[in-house]
Amino acid sequence: MDTSRYTIPTDIQAIVNTDRYELNDIGMSDSEVRIYDKFVLKIRPYSKENDNEFAMTKWLGKKIPIPEIPAYCISKGTAYTLSTRIEGKMLCDDSYLHQPETLIQIAADGLKQLWEVDIKDCPHNSSRLSERLKEAEYNVMNGLVDIENAEPETFGPNGFAGPEELLRWLQDNQPEEDIVFTHGDYSLPNILVSGNRINGFIDLGKMGPADRWQDVAIALRSLEHNFSGRYRDGKRIFDFKPQMLLDKLGIEFDSHKYSYYILLDELF
């Protein structure tokens, strides 16, 4: 194990002791995820999302299946989030991608489960559109937008000239919000399952009350990307159509909200 990059806070050391872990490199030079037998330690540059994940987890309790966070520390601009480990396969696992009907049903069930959470006494509103736009503006103004990983059509000759122009469009074209409880990044890797049952949702930094299309848009994009083979060999696994998910949710396609929340995600 390479432990030289970070000094783990004592509160977390006291819990994990000297347990061995596997290092899960998430592709960012200044971030990492350590997988222990019973815990997951996420080490990332501090942001408001770290605070939100901790706060939402405490508020939710056992309302939906999510990890507990026994320790959360900030040191020298780095956030250390220790959460309990949830067993199961990611919903993008090959075994599910080759059972598309089952996968789509599980994805729909997860959204319904989130939307059933009563938000009337939720004290946290950082996921609301007004707050997300403030964070997006901060990211744009501080050069934190990763254009290289954006959808091919977002920027360039047939898209926006740059993040600044996209931000202005988002500010000028805000949709009316239909508020429910949302995950905030409802993509297949953030849903852990066993059989036909969801064991838990992970990566909760954007979780909270927001328009339901915040989750629906990301879910549709994730389903299309995974079924198209984008993250594998480029060979399409299944001819996914958005209405396959929407029919199970009992809603119609909203082209403006779909485009809006996909574009908003480009600034994070």
Which residues are bridge partners to 66 per DSSP? none
Choosing from 2, 19, 25, 185, which is the catalytic residue? Answer: 185
DSSP class per residue in the chain: ---SS----HHHHHHHTT---EEE--S-TT-EEEE-SSEEEEEEE--HHHHHHHHHHHHHTTSS-----SEEEEETTEEEEEEEPPPSEETTSHHHHTSHHHHHHHHHHHHHHHHTS--TT----TTSHHHHHHHHHHHHHTT---GGGS-TTTBSTTSBSSHHHHHHHHHHSPPPP-EEEE-SS--GGGEEEETTEEEEE---TT-EEEEHHHHHHHHHHHHHHHHTTTTTTS-------HHHHHHHHT----HHHHHHHHHHHTT-
Nearest CA to 40 out of 196, 186, 192, 144 is that of 192
The C-alpha atoms of residue 255 and residue 134 are separated, in whole angstroms, by 24
185 is catalytic: yes
Catalytic residues: 185
